[in-house]
Homo-oligomer: A and B are copies of this chain.
Amino acid sequence: MTNRKMQIIELTLKNIQEKGFTSFSYEHLAKELGVTKASIHYHFEKKGDLGIAVCERIQQGLERTFTLMKESTLPAEEKPFAFIMQRIKFLEQDGICPISALQADYQELPQPMQEKLQQLSQMEIDVFVELLKDAKQQGALQATNDLEALAVLLISSTKGALQYKRVVGEAFFQKMLEQLKELLK
């Protein structure tokens, strides 16, 4: 079964959202899967290898959601927020964005993971810029707007709000979203 490899990646993704990269262990994963630690080392020799695989998994998710939005029949102006809502659907209950979780652990990551995470973070920005471009062409945004700056704000506030939400409750995230929409009108 190469399903096992996917299973490990999915479980790790879940664990990263809940605990972060440094705080989950091979032992933990192994117990949840009903196998031994060594079996996970067979599939991913080093923890960093597993980390890279998870980064690639996240990247695919970003790409898939991007394509979904591109092909969606929604008005282009709604797509950036639809993108956010779609991404949030895949988060664990009380999980934060896995990219944020990895960023928080950044200094502890093996170097190849740091580089991969840089790439991944930049890609997320690019995806938003692309969606905002469409919205602008549709005339939905003020022409004055620097799209990259807008993307950066959308991303920052979403990621920040997900972390507060976990601690102070669901309402925080909703408030942030409404305020953001209000300001963009």
- Chain A interface residues (CB < 8 Å from chain B): 18-20, 22-23, 94, 96, 100-101, 103-108, 114, 117-118, 121-122, 125, 146, 148-150, 152-153, 155-161, 163-164, 166-168, 172, 175-176, 178-180, 182-184
Contacts A175-B148, A176-B156, A178-B149 known; A164 to B103 CB distance under 8 Å? yes
Q: Which residues of B contact A96 (CB under 8 A)?
A: 103-104
Q: Are B156 and A20 in contact (CB under 8 A)?
A: no
Contact A104 B161 (CB under 8 A): no
**In angstroms, how far is the closest chain B Cβ from the Cβ of A116?**
11
- A20-B105, A159-B160 given; A152·B179 CB < 8 A: yes
> Which of the listed residues A108, A122, A159, A160 has the most CB atoms from chain B within 10 Å of its own CB?
A160
A-B pairs with lowest CB-CB distance, top 9: A160-B160, A156-B160, A104-B104, A159-B160, A149-B179, A157-B157, A156-B161, A156-B157, A103-B163
Report B-chain residues with C-beta under 8 Å of the C-beta of A168: 118, 121-122, 125
Give which listed residue, B149, B178, B179, contacts A176 with CB less than 8 A. Answer: B149
Which has the most chain B C-beta neighbours within 10 Å: A101, A152, A166? Answer: A152
Complex: how many Å from CA A117 to CA B180? 25
Q: How far is it, in angstroms, between the C-alpha of A167 and the C-alpha of B122 when the chains are bound?
A: 9
